[in-house]
Every structure is written in C-alpha cells, then in structure tokens.
Amino acid sequence: MVKEEIKFDIKVYDSIDELNHEDAFLLNQARSVTQFAYAPYSKFQVGAFAKLMNGETVSGTNQENAAYPAGICAERTLMSTASSLYPGIGIETIAISHRNLNGNSDYPISPCGICRQSFVEFQLRTNQSIRIILGGQEGRVQIIENALDLLPLVFGAKDLK
C-alpha cells in the first residue's frame, strides 16, 4: 500500500478590506447580486460574479424550484450565461457570496459538488484555470487559485475514452 496525500492552499483574509481593488469589487458585486436569487424554499440566496478573460463580467444567482432538486446554483447559472454570451472565453476570477435569510452570512461558503465538477469541465474546455473568491456578506474571505483544487480526484472526459 502507498499512502498519497492531497493538499492545496487557501488564502484567508480577515475581511474584504484586505483584498486588492479588483478582488474587492468582484466580491462586492457577488454580495449585491444575492438579492436577485430566487430562493423561496431554502431562504439561502447565493450570488456569483465573474470577470472573464476578455474583460467582460457576468453574474448568476441560485434559482430554486418547487420540484426540488430541479433548481440551479448561482455558479452554474453564471457559467451557463458566460458560455452563452461569450462562447469559448474562460473565467479569470469568480466571486461567490451568500445571504442566509434564516441565519448568519458572515463566513465563506464552498461550491457544491456539482458546481465543482462544472468548474473543472469549464476550465478544461476553455483551457483556463478559474480563480475563486469566497465570502459572505461580511467577515472572512477565502481565495482559491485554481478551481481544480476543490475536486482533486476529478472524473473527466478523459475517463470516458
């Protein structure tokens, strides 16, 4: 038997005030777009805001559905919008925030498994790694330099060959 260890780095900041101007802008936009989420069931609004490799920006919010789990996460809404409006263009940085109407929104949340898989697929098809900024409406902020770090044992297209 061989034991393998998988590690990755997360940069942790005490608040948005420690971020550079562009990262702070992206996170503030993600915080703001949470208001457009459709989350009448969970009361957990998620907003995503990204800068693409061509300099354009796009946003996405979670969209719930009474026929649970037919909803879609903010991150996948954003990726769908980006690929529809700007085919083949990679995402440089995506900021993700949340507003929990039932509790606290002062800490970062991490993308779900489906979003992690979708990030990897998006990275592979655009040949561009995606940098992720995570933060609530206030409080600590986390930055992950490559979305692939969130899914180290990825199942991908190469596995289907």
> Tokens in use for 65?
């559905």
Which of the four pLDDT bands, split at 50, 70 and 90, describes residue 64? very high
SS3 content of the chain, % helix, strand, coil (to 5): 35, 25, 45
pLDDT at 34 over 90: yes
Report how many helices (DSSP H) and strands (DSSP E) the chain contains, helices first.
3, 6
Residue 153 is encoded by which pair of tokens? Answer: 């044992």
Task: Summarize pLDDT for 85-135 with one digit per residue, the tens.
Answer: 999 999 999 999 999 999 999 999 999 999 999 999 999 999 999 999 999
Domain ranges of the chain: 19-160
pLDDT in tens, 36-54: 999 999 999 999 999 999 9
Which CATH fold topology does 19-160 show?
Answer: Cytidine Deaminase; domain 2 (3.40.140)
pLDDT in tens, 1-25: 999 999 999 999 999 999 999 999 9
Compute how many other C-beta atoms are within 10 angstroms of the C-beta atom of residue 15: 13
Our answer to whether residue 145 is catalytic in this structure is: no
Which among 22, 75, 121, 138 is annotated as catalytic?
Answer: 75
Tokens linked to 60: 């996405």
Q: Residue 53 class from Cβ within 10 Å (0-12 exposed, 13-18 middle, 19+ buried)?
A: middle
